[in-house]
Amino acid sequence: MSEHKASVLLVGGGSVGAIAALNIESSGQAAVTIVCRSNFQAVLDDGYSIESCDHGSLRGWRPSSVVNKVPLVADGLHFDYIVCVTKNVADVPPPVSDLIRPAVSPGKTVIVLIQNGLNIEKPLLAAFPQNVVLSGVSLIGANEPEPGFVQQDFPDTLFVGAFRNQSRDVADEKAAAEDFVKIYSAGGKTQCSYNADVGWTRWRKLVYNACLNPICAITGLDTGRIRLADGAVEGLVRPAMAEIVAAAKACGHELPETVDMDMIEMDPLTMYLPPSMLSDVRKGNFIEYENILGEPLREGEKLSVAMPTVRVLYHLCQAIQWKNKELKGLVSVPPKGSFVAPVVEG
Ligand SMILES: NC(=O)C1=CN([C@@H]2O[C@H](COP(=O)(O)OP(=O)(O)OC[C@H]3O[C@@H](n4cnc5c(N)ncnc54)[C@H](OP(=O)(O)O)[C@@H]3O)[C@@H](O)[C@H]2O)C=CC1
Ligand SMILES: CC(C)(CO)C(=O)C(=O)O
């Protein structure tokens, strides 16, 4: 008799999602249905091509099932886990909660958010108050330069813990997180560990994401070049990082004194890693600036932390997003007026 496999719906088969699906399937303990969008046909026809520092070169790799729509759970269909690995773009519909709603079994499905940013759990806990919602903080340098072609340059390190849901037992939440860690780690190609202090871990990662992501996205420079560029680290990156560290402290999360340099030097300079927000700008995608910059800024300023650099980065990202919204028809501008002075006869 075959062993029971956990059923996993992975929503967002882009770069991090493809590697996550690979880790989960490699366990032999779970079957993944992956939801793809722009790369659906490429992945369906040819599978993923993966060049990975953890997994090596793979051609034509597919998880158990590839679909282009979140399935409706009915007639006995049920997912043990829904792993959300879309970009979490809070100011562009649909919200993640609406996207996954058809597949959520209330009180049963464990929802895992492998996404950057702060307060991303709030809409999920509001929409699914009976479900366990897990945090996945990922350190992985992954990109998808062409549909279905995924490059991973930085080893996948995933920290998983529960976002506190007042209507659930703490022990159940911890057990769900530990079960997911077991599945994700079982293939032996990645580092995935249980993380009790989800808030601390998210703020620590924001020291990178709220600073390097927007600065690289705005300047068009990857994390290697930003370190080489005149004045960028001392004039922009470190002041922004100091503000995030101060906001984290005000929110009760004391980060190590070396956290700024730890984050700046995390990926080797010559990896020339484009943070995910820079990749999005290059592809003309929307950026996750509300969860990555807006939320830490609002939390910090609410507690009277001065965050002038982060505020400027936030508004520059807001303008970049607006430009993209106009290009994609989400906002419209009044027609151009006529400013030519009328010809006066005689
Ligand atoms: N890349 C990295 O190295 C890291 C990324 N992260 C975080 O991980 C998360 C995922 O990032 P990443 O993998 O880089 O992102 P990608 O853009 O590579 O992948 C996201 C995928 O989700 C799909 N998607 C988005 N919205 C929907 C939707 N409504 N329905 C179906 N599919 C959808 C996208 O499709 P489409 O192509 O059509 O847009 C795309 O395939 C983000 O929160 C990011 O910040 C964290 C650590 C590192
Ligand atoms: C830190 C990094 C670069 C990858 O781990 C990331 O989180 C991102 O690209 O958004």
Residue the block writes with tokens 């998808």? 144
Count of structural domains within the chain? 2
Tokens linked to 65: 């099932």
Pair 20, 152 in one domain: yes
Which of 113, 276, 293 to probe ligand 2 with, by most ligand atoms within 8 A of CB?
A: 276
Q: What is the CATH number of the domain that holds 189?
A: 3.40.50.720
Whether 152 maps to a domain, the answer reads yes
Q: Quick check: ipTM above 0.95?
A: yes
C-alpha separations of 85 from 65, 137, 151, 214 in Å: 16, 11, 16, 20
Q: CATH code at 305?
A: 1.10.1040.10
Which residue range(s) make up the domain with 181? Answer: 6-195
Select from 162, 195, 228 the last residue of a domain: 195
Residues 258, 189 within the same domain: no
Residues 222 and 258 grouped into a single domain: yes
Query: 16 with 106, same domain?
Result: yes
SS3 160: strand
Same domain for 161 and 241 = no
Are residue 223 and residue 183 in the same domain, yes or no?
Answer: no
Ligand 1, atom 48: nearest CA belongs to which residue? 140
Q: Is residue 36 part of a domain?
A: yes
- Whether 337 is covered by a domain: the verdict is no
Q: Are residues 275 and 191 in the same domain?
A: no
CA of residue 10 relative to chain centroid, distance = 13
The finding on whether 88 has its CB within 6 A of some atom of ligand 2 is no
Q: Same structural domain for residues 42 and 118? A: yes
5 contacts: CB under 8 Å, gap ≥ 6: 28, 29, 30, 31
Q: Which residues are paired to 266 by β-bridges?
A: none
CA distance 89 to 233: 27
Residue 286: inside a domain, yes or no? Answer: yes
346 residues of the chain, pLDDT tens digit each: 457 899 999 999 999 999 999 999 999 999 999 999 999 999 999 999 999 999 999 999 999 999 999 999 987 789 999 999 999 999 999 999 999 999 999 999 999 999 999 999 999 999 999 999 999 999 998 999 999 999 999 999 999 999 999 999 999 999 999 999 999 999 999 999 999 999 999 999 999 999 999 999 999 999 999 999 999 999 999 999 999 999 999 999 999 999 999 999 999 999 999 999 999 999 999 999 999 999 999 999 999 999 999 999 999 999 999 999 999 999 999 999 988 888 888 7
Domain identity same for 153 and 215: no
C-beta 17 within 6 A of ligand 1? yes
Does residue 336 lie within any of the structural domains?
no
Peptide bond connecting 239 to the previous residue in cis, omega within 30 degrees of 0: no
Element (H, E) at 198: helix 198-209
In a domain, 341, yes or no: no
Report residue 291 CA to chain centroid gap.
Answer: 9
**Ligand 2 atom nearest to CA at 292:** 10
Ligand nearest to the CA of 48: 1
223, 128: one domain: no
152 and 17 in one domain?
A: yes
Assess whether 319 and 175 both reside in one domain.
no
> What amino acid occupies position 279?
S
**Residue 17 within a domain:** yes
